[in-house]
Amino acid sequence: MECSNSTSSQGHHVEKWNQVQIIDPSIVEMGPSHLPLSFMRRCRGVLCLVIMILTAFMMMVYLSPVTTFLVRLFSVHYSRKSTCFLFGMWLAMWPFLFEKINKTRFVFSGESVPAKERVLLFANHRTEVDWMYLWDFALRKGRLQCIKYILKKSLMKLPVFNWAFHIIEFIPVERKWEIDEAIIRSRLSEFKNPKDPLWLAVFPEGTDYTEKKCIKSQEYAAEHGLPVLKNVLLPKTKGFNCCLQVLRSTIDAVYDITIAYKHRPPTFLDNVYGVGPSEVHIHISSIQVSDIPASEDGVAGWLVERFRLKDELLSGFSALGHFPDEGKGTEGDLSTAECLANFAAVVAVTGLLAYLTLFSSVWFKLFVAFSCSSLTLATCYSVHLPQMVGFGSGTPGSIHAKEA
């Protein structure tokens, strides 16, 4: 479907939305947990977390040496493709947990977008787990395996998960632009091959929303003549502009995503235990790259305006409990059968690999030890092996030295 989504058209739509009479001021984002944390929910949550960590560990130590190291010597393109396929299978278990086990309802509104292969997404950052809910959107579009994030470098200290962040080539940043600019440009330059599917997700606010941060953001906005926002922070425009500059000629569209929750913003443990949120509302606007200004100042002004519109959307949501035109719905439910089949496949492979490790030849134990050491060193020093033999499509990789 053809999408018409300029800033002015969405602004007119949001203004009409804000004229709706507030009918229930009690529907706000800060409320009680969706469900009480019972003993059974706590036990189920611990079991789910153990399964997630164990499956991630076994798949990485056994399969990533083949896809990430061996295949990469011959083809960066096919190395990424095989790695992302396996990563996508594991990652699909999270939407299964959210929607089928925890019974969190996902409501999509805005524009119905095609499953384009290469897009840049930007979203508001209400809580520590916003980025996880983009997986539910990506899974519906068949692009879960190729989603990548720019994330704060401190997350690279998480055991096991830091290996995953490295091998699927997330981009860690220090939140110091004089350091981050060169890193972002260097890493993004490797994703310019149009044959490599890419969903790059960024959160321009740079941190999750809190009242204290909001007050500081409002004070800064008032001092500099910028919009004073209530539900989002002023975006940091340099990182987004950098991503757009590097990828502008190789992406199909930009997705503006606004996320809201009932009845309170969830934490990671809320997801694990299944006590919240009751609903995740995701509003999507698709923007043609040609509609975004080319200059840095133009991009900065354009992004601030998009966040002003987000703020108005979220004000309407806080008043009414839904985004405009949600009744139409833009995405269907996930297939329970497909979710179960994927879960069964991942758990079966993990069970087999765990059995081989614990009860089979000592060579399996040595392989696991070697793989763990290799992944740790590669992650610590940010090493991506180069393509040594010209084979297949894709550009050669490179070795990234550890940033000081």
DSSP characters for 79-141?
HHHHHHHHHHHHHTHHHIIIIIIS--EEEEEE------SEEEEEE---STTHHHHHHHHHHHT
Q: What is the pLDDT of residue 275?
A: 92
Dihedral (C-alpha) 43, 45, 51, 53: value to the nearest 10 degrees? -120
Domain-embedded: residue 395: no
Sheet holding 105-110, edge to edge: 105-110, 279-287, 253-262, 118-123, 198-202, 147-152, 171-173
Q: How far apart are the C-alpha atoms of 148 and 55, rounded to whole Å?
A: 20
Number of domains in the chain: 1
Who contacts 362 (Cβ-Cβ below 8 Å, separation ≥6)? none
Under 8 Å between Cβ of 118 and 250 = yes
Whether pTM > 0.85 for this model: the answer is yes
- 351 φ/ψ angles, rounded to the nearest 5 degrees: -60, -45
Under 8 Å between Cβ of 372 and 61 = yes
Q: What is the pLDDT of residue 272?
A: 93
Domain-embedded: residue 35: no
DSSP characters for 46-61?
HHHHHHHHHHHHHHHH
Domain-embedded: residue 400: no
Q: How far is CA 62 from CA 58, 76, 369, in A?
A: 6, 19, 10
Q: Which two tokens stand for residue 13?
A: 């739509």
Containing domain of residue 99, as a range? 7-19+44-380
Q: Which two tokens stand for residue 402?
A: 């550890």
In this structure, the strands spanning 171-173 and 118-123 are unpaired
Average pLDDT by stretches of 10, the chain with 404 residues: 43 45 38 78 95 95 92 91 93 96 94 87 96 96 93 88 92 92 94 90 94 95 96 96 96 96 91 93 96 96 98 95 84 95 97 96 96 94 80 44 36
Domain-embedded: residue 317: yes
Domain-embedded: residue 388: no
The beta strand positions in 245-312, using DSSP E, are 253-262, 279-287
Under 8 Å between Cβ of 127 and 303 = no
The single residue listed with the structure tokens 């030890």 is: 369
Q: What is the pLDDT of residue 18?
A: 45
Nearest residue to 120 via CA among 134, 130, 108: 134
Under 8 Å between Cβ of 178 and 267 = no
Give the Cα-Cα-Cα angle 255, 256, 259 (nearest 5 degrees): 120
Domain-embedded: residue 266: yes
Domain-embedded: residue 26: no
Dihedral (C-alpha) 12, 16, 19, 25: value to the nearest 10 degrees? -100
How many helices (H) and strands (E) the chain has is answered by: 14, 7
Domain-embedded: residue 372: yes
Q: How far apart are the C-alpha atoms of 332 and 339, rounded to whole Å?
A: 14
Dihedral (C-alpha) 179, 183, 188, 191: value to the nearest 10 degrees? -170
